[in-house]
Amino acid sequence: MAIKEGDAVPDVKLTEMADGKPSQVSLAELARGKRVVVFAVPGAFTPTCSMKHLPGFVEQEKALRAKGIDEIVCLAVNDAFVMDAWGRSGNAGGKVRMLADGNGDFTRAVGLGLDASGFGMGQRSQRYAMILRDGRVEKLLVEAGPGLSVSSAEAVLAHL
The catalytic residues are 49
One-letter amino acid of 29: E
Q: How many CB atoms lie within 10 A of CB 47?
A: 9
Please count the helices (runs of H) and the strands (runs of E) in the chain. 7, 9
Q: How many CB atoms lie within 10 A of CB 16?
A: 18
Torsion of CA 27, 119, 142, 6, to 10 degrees: -40
Those residues with Cβ within 8 angstroms of residue 56's Cβ, 6 or more apart along the chain or in another chain: 148, 152, 153, 154
Those residues with Cβ within 8 angstroms of residue 103's Cβ, 6 or more apart along the chain or in another chain: 77
